[in-house]
């Protein structure tokens, strides 16, 4: 016969076992629910329509290498240093009025002086002299650069020939409008300031776009829809009445 205290203890143990089983079941069900929610959120995010029909991540679109890491500010210290250096150079030329040839000569003077002092003081400070490569650009690299330049220049001439041939009025009008817009911007800024502004936009906008990707995609999609509507109105009222474009649409 079991005593009353032993029966009371065994009853408490059974109750504790039931409580632990209930807690384990509820925690496993909640974790599975949270995993399902995460998977559903990931799927809905991947299925979300991106600007210009983009399916790959922005880092992959930009090439996925070190250049993409710099533009997307993966290493904030390196990217910030490059931006600060370019800004200082822009301020030297635009703000102080430094000339390119003077800047080039002064930079060479500083570089040669540092290397000369280092080479002569290396024996006193127990450090090796500066090492310089035999050839910075190899023959293979020069041939690759020349091949790329040749290809780009030929494509540019083919595009200009196509625009000037008189066969595509739409492309001609778009080209003239684009050049006219660029000429207006060029008259408001110097070439150096315009180049710095383009660099600043190309260096910071991808990082900001990646940070606010969802919001920008929604606004960009609405803007593209509105542009298509305006172009349809322009095409109906003006472009369709031009004989050359009307004949192309009929064919």
28-46 pLDDT, tens digit per residue, is 544 445 555 544 444 444 4
pTM: 0.61
Structure tokens at 233: 């109105």
Residue 70 · residue 82 · CB < 8 Å: yes
Dump pLDDT digits (tens) for 77-122: 999 999 999 999 899 888 888 888 898 999 999 999 998 988 888 7
The CA dihedral of 196, 197, 198, 202, to the nearest 10 degrees, is: 100
The whole-angstrom distance between residue 81's C-alpha and the CA centroid of its chain comes to: 17
> What angle (nearest 5°) sits at the alpha carbon of residue 125, between those of residues 121 and 128?
75
């Amino acid at each position: 016969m079991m005593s009353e205290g032993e029966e009371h203890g065994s009853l408490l143990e059974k109750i504790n076992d039931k409580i632990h089983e209930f807690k384990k079941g509820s925690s496993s069900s909640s974790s599975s629910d949270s995993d399902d929610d995460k998977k559903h959120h990931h799927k809905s995010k991947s299925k979300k329509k991106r600007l210009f029909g983009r399916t790959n991540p922005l880092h992959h679109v930009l090439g996925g290498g070190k250049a993409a890491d710099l533009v997307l500010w993966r290493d904030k210290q390196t990217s910030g240093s490059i931006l600060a250096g370019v800004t200082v150079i822009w301020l030297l030329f635009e703000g102080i009025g430094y000339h390119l040839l003077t800047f080039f000569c002064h930079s060479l003077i500083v570089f040669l002086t540092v290397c000369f002092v280092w080479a002569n003081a290396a024996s006193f400070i127990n450090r090796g002299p500066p090492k310089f490569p035999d050839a910075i650009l190899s023959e293979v690299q020069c041939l690759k650069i020349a091949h790329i330049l040749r290809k780009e220049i030929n494509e540019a001439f083919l595009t200009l020939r196509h625009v000037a041939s008189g066969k595509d009025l739409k492309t001609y009008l778009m080209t003239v409008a684009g050049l006219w817009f660029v000429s207006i911007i060029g008259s408001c800024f110097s070439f150096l300031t315009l180049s710095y502004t383009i660099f600043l936009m190309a260096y910071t906008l991808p990082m900001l776009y990646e940070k606010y990707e969802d919001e920008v995609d929604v606004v960009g999609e609405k803007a593209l829809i509105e542009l298509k509507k305006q172009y349809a109105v322009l095409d109906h009222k003006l472009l369709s009445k031009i004989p050359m474009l009307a004949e192309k649409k009929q064919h």
